[in-house]
Amino acid sequence: MQSKQSIHGSWANRWIFILAATGSAVGLGNIWKFPYITGENGGGAFVLVYLFCIMLVGIPIMMGEILVGRRARQSPINAVRETAAEAGLNKNWSLIGWLGVLAGYIIFSFYSVVAGWVLHYIAGMGTGQFVDISSDLAGERFTNLLASPDQMLVWHTLFVLMVVGVVAGGVNKGLERATKIMMPALFVLLLVLLGYSVNTGSFGQGWSFLFSFNPEALTWDAVLVALGHAFFTLSLGMGAIMAYGSYMGKKDSIGVTVLTIGVLDTLVALVAGLAIFPVVFANQMDPAAGPGLMFITLPVAFGQMPGGQVFGFLFFLLVGVAAWTSAISLLEPATAWLVERFGLKRLPAALLLGVIVWLMGIASLLSFNHWEEIKLLGMGIFDFLDFITANVMLPLSGLMIAIYSGWMLNKHITRDELALGSNMTYSAWSLVIRFIAPVAVMVIFVVNLYDKLA
């Protein structure tokens, strides 16, 4: 069991794994969603709660996912089945793997639509279409994009192809190569944008918005949003991290690695906030603009600033790269499973899944226009898919992973994989994964669901 290898390959070294997992974690969640939910929930106090959630729920569950993946060295579905067999448990525990892979796959279908908008904005910024644009016009442009299925289809298709192209290359020639190029590019772009916002934006105002602690702004609802987001941003509960973990070196410490990924992901979210809010404030715009913050507020802000065309273009390029590396990790678990289960080659496996997910994405993009009338539980298709994945499938899958790795797997398996050196650290993990994380997740799950459906 110890010297097992994955048939898909393995990461060249620990840093590649850290970068690949960070590539999965850093995505639209960090750059689009984190800034706007921070904006909506009043800033500093929300950020603090979010950090607690990362530490107490995100990090331990991520360790649980990786240990299962690395133990079995197979796609999530088979990894859970195999570790269950090793621990003498019922093989139906592999349902956890199914749930995760399915959730990731559904998320990919609508994530790709939003990523398509980003590609559209890269082109728009690059060709100067937002120079000196008014708020009204920027709003109208975005509305027009959503009203045009043809335009969205072009960008959605391109994005799916970009992802399939990388996943088809396999772990070493696809994922690893993409990671080596895209992650350094991502960090450089982020620093360039930070420099721009320090020099050109209202940096002090942006800083104090993110870090001044004003507990009055914090509501119970905001705590739930923070907890849910901790999950989404670390790519937990959908097989992505488990699949990546199955390609991880046996000797690398899971604890240290996961901590590094958590810190990097958080840093990127904070730096993204520091790059965005000063630009927003410099143009006297509203930080609480919601999902439109990136697609309406920012283009207007960039359009009015010196050098804004270039930096606006770089900004959307950054978001595009981040979304790309995340989507790759959404397609990988299902692809690995098809290869294992049916002996398919990577290319046909990735293509087949790409075509299905592309069709599903079309349903999402039509829900903004022709299919606007179709409602599931009172929501359009796009919102419904977002809702069942983020609020139902992910928490459920995260909860099951916590229970499975904390309560069900034998101690010798978890201790052997985690090899946490001291007993103290292992006990700390064990305490958090058995009690704190599941209770916290159960709370989001129930309250969130109650809130949405009541």
Binding site for ligand PHE (CB under 6 A): 24-25, 27-30, 104, 107, 232-233, 235, 238, 240, 326, 329-330
Compute the least distance from the CB of residue 329 to ligand PHE, in Å.
Answer: 5
Cα 171 from Cα 248, distance rounded (Å):
11
DSSP state at residue 306: T
Nearer to ligand PHE, 183 or 282 (CB): 183
Confirm if 242 and 73 have CB atoms less than 8 A apart.
no
Structure tokens at 404: 């499975």
> Shortest Cβ contact with ligand PHE: which residue?
29
Q: Which is nearer to ligand PHE, 111 or 281 (CB)?
A: 111
CB of 197 to ligand PHE, least distance (A): 21
φ, ψ for residue 211 (rounded to 5)?
-115, -5
Closest separation in Å from C-beta 231 to ligand PHE: 9
Nearer to ligand PHE, 80 or 331 (CB): 331
Do residues 210 and 288 touch, judged by C-beta distance below 8 A? no
Q: Pull the structure tokens for residue 195.
A: 């420099």
Q: Which among 21, 2, 1, 3 is positioned nearest to 11, based on CA atoms?
A: 21
Instruction: Kindly tell me which of 203 and 232 has the beta carbon lying closer to ligand PHE.
Output: 232
Residue 29 or 35 with smaller CB distance to ligand PHE = 29
Per the CB < 8 A criterion, the answer to whether 410 and 189 are in contact is: no
Least Cβ distance, residue 408 to ligand PHE (angstroms): 24
Is the CB of 331 or the CB of 440 nearer to ligand PHE? 331
Tell me phi and psi for residue 172, to 5 degrees.
Answer: -85, -45
Are the C-beta atoms of residues 269 and 34 closer than 8 Å to each other? Answer: yes
- Measure the CA–CA gap between 244 and 258, rounded to whole angstroms: 12
Minimum CB distance to ligand PHE, residue 440 (Å): 19
Question: Rounded to an integer, what distance in angstroms lies between the CA atom of residue 240 and that of residue 220?
Answer: 29
- What single DSSP character describes residue 253? -
The minimum distance between CB 103 and ligand PHE, in angstroms, equals 8
